[in-house]
Every structure is written in structure tokens, then in C-alpha cells.
């Protein structure tokens, strides 16, 4: 009996071994190594660790640029997450209704999700060119008598431009999740509300929104994680400028390590700080989803 159980366990472990090895090599080990580097006095040119210190965390806590970066990240989250949810839900409701060619529209709105941020960023740079003869957006503004805007060269507009790209990119993914949630709601609920005289807005407010609560919570948490990982659009469009106005946490980490100063230890410390934030979000997600599950099954 014990031999049979051991054989089954070994067979199971043999099947999952490639996945476990992959997870260890490309997820667990990099986290461990980054944690070690965050305390290490590391010479990148000689590839050697001279000793260990807390200075990287102390320097990070005193770094004014990090405070600006954290503030930019908060602004970026506030500007993108709510609008992404609103647009995703609006499109989902529209495309879940009885309209012609809704399959085509779903594909069109989902297409940005499978486009890389680098490619999308290049397109947005062209569209936002300050020269109205080259930039589509300023050309349209000029048609209505509005002066051209230096989108990526001025502080307030650069962040707005990056936010716009991020929202455009992510809306399609969350739209699909909302559509799946809408299709789980029984039509009889809407029919009963309609018989009772509820308007479309009342049905949306008192039926659709509450019954999509679990999906909305999931989308908020996932979008927060996506937003904290923001890098490609910043790298392609603004390089964190102008004057640090679009520098966010991941780009700050990248620039510390590879921006010319090779401050690997401080970069690793900042990466561990970001890992802590994302870890807290994931723990909250698991807790909330478990509570939602228990509430739904009770």
C-alpha cells in the first residue's frame, strides 16, 4: 500500500517537476537574489560582493526622487484605474446588448490588448506630435481652432498622454471579463424589473452593478497590479520626463540599475519595496475573493 502511494506521488511530482523548476529558476530564485543584492555592497564591474549593508534602504528612504516617483505612481493609479473600469463596463454593457456585428466590435476593442506597449507607444508618439502637420491629434485640434499642444514635452500633458495609452490598452481585457459577468446574470431578473417599471438606468444601477461586484473587485486589484508594473510606455514615450513628471516605480528601478550609475543595490532595494506593495495587494485580493466566495455559497 505504501509502495503504491509512493509510486503515485513520484509520478505526480515527475509531471509537475518541469513547472516547479521553471517557477524556481525564473520567479523564486530572482526574488531571492534580488533580496540578497538589496543588502549587498556589489561591484557590477568585477561581479563581486564586498559585504552587506543597510545603506541601500537608508538611501532609498532619503531619496527625494523616490518620493516624487511614488507620488507620480499614485497619480497614475488614480488617473487610470477608475477610468479603465468605467470604460470597460460601458463597452461591456453596450456589446452585450442586441447590436449588429457585436462580435466584430468586441474584437476591435480587444485588439489593443494583444498589441505591445512599445508598438502602441510609437503610434501614440506619432499621433501626439506637436507639429500639427505630422501629429493627428493636433491636426484635429487645429481644425476646431484649438492651438497645438506639446503633449509629451509639457508636465501635465505628458502624464495624461501616458494614462490615455494605458487605458486604451487595458480596457479591452477587462471588457471581456465584464461581458462574461453580464452573461452570468439571468435575463429573468431584468424581465422582472422591467415588468415592475424599472428604467434601463435603474436596472443598471440596482441589478447590473451589484451583481458585478465580484468582477469589479477582481478588475480593480488586477488593474492596480498592472499599473504598478508600468514601464514600457514610459520608456518609449517620455523616459520619465519632462522633469521626472512621468517617472513611476518600475522605471525608477530600471534607471537606478541601468541608467548609467549602475546602482544595483539601491535598485534591488527599490524592487523589494515594489514587491512588498504588490504582495500586499495580492494578499488583499485573496482575502476579498475568499470572502466573496463564502458569501456566495452561504
pLDDT digits (tens, 9 = 90+) for 126-159: 999 888 677 889 999 999 888 888 899 898 899 9
Provide the pLDDT for residue 234: 94
Average pLDDT over residues 230-258: 92
Residue 2 has pLDDT above 70, yes or no: no
Q: Which fold has domain 45-297?
A: MetI-like fold (1.10.3720)
Please enumerate in sequence order all residues whose Cβ is within 8 A of that of 35, keeping only pairs 6 or more positions apart, or say none.
268, 272
Q: Which three three-digit cell numbers place residue 114?
A: 494583444
Distance CA 149, CA 76 (A): 20
Provide the pLDDT for residue 47: 76
State the pTM of this model. Answer: 0.87
Distance CA 94, CA 82 (A): 18
- Over residues 34-84, the pLDDT tens digits come to 999 999 888 777 777 888 888 889 988 899 999 999 999 999 999 999 999
Q: E-assigned strands of the chain?
A: 40-43, 48-52
Identify which of 82, 243, 241, 79 has the alpha carbon closest to the alpha carbon of residue 163: 79
Residue 171 has pLDDT above 60, yes or no: yes
Other Cβ atoms within 10 Å of 158 Cβ, number: 23
Mean pLDDT for all residues in the chain: 88
Amino acid at each position: 500500500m505504501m509502495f503504491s502511494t509512493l509510486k503515485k506521488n513520484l509520478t505526480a511530482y515527475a509531471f509537475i517537476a518541469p513547472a516547479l523548476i521553471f517557477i524556481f529558476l525564473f520567479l523564486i530564485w530572482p526574488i531571492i537574489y534580488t533580496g540578497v543584492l538589496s543588502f549587498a555592497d556589489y561591484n557590477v564591474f568585477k561581479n563581486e560582493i564586498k559585504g552587506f549593508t543597510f545603506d541601500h534602504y537608508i538611501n532609498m528612504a532619503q531619496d527625494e526622487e523616490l518620493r516624487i516617483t511614488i507620488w507620480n505612481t499614485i497619480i497614475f493609479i488614480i488617473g487610470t484605474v477608475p477610468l479603465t473600469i468605467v470604460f470597460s463596463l460601458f463597452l461591456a454593457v453596450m456589446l452585450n446588448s442586441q447590436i449588429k456585428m457585436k462580435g466584430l466590435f468586441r474584437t476591435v476593442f480587444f485588439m489593443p490588448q494583444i498589441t505591445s506597449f512599445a508598438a502602441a507607444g510609437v503610434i501614440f508618439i506619432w499621433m501626439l506630435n506637436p507639429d500639427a502637420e505630422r501629429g493627428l491629434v493636433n491636426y484635429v485640434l487645429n481644425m476646431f481652432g484649438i492651438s497645438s499642444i506639446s503633449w509629451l514635452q509639457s508636465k501635465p500633458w505628458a502624464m495624461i498622454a501616458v494614462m490615455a495609452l494605458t487605458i486604451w490598452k487595458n480596457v479591452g481585457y477587462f471588457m471581456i471579463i465584464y461581458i462574461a459577468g453580464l452573461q452570468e446574470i439571468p435575463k429573468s431578473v431584468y424581465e422582472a424589473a422591467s415588468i415592475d417599471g424599472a428604467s434601463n438606468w435603474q436596472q443598471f444601477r440596482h441589478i447590473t452593478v451589484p451583481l458585478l461586484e465580484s468582477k469589479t473587485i477582481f478588475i480593480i486589484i488586477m488593474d492596480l497590479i498592472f499599473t504598478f508594473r508600468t514601464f514600457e510606455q514610459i520608456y518609449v514615450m517620455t523616459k520619465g520626463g519632462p522633469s521626472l513628471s512621468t517617472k513611476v516605480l518600475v522605471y525608477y528601478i530600471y534607471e537606478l540599475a541601468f541608467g548609467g550609475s549602475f546602482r544595483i543595490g539601491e535598485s534591488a532595494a527599490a524592487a523589494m519595496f515594489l514587491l512588498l506593495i504588490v504582495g500586499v495587494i495580492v494578499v488583499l485580493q485573496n482575502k476579498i475573493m475568499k470572502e466573496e466566495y463564502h458569501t456566495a455559497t452561504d
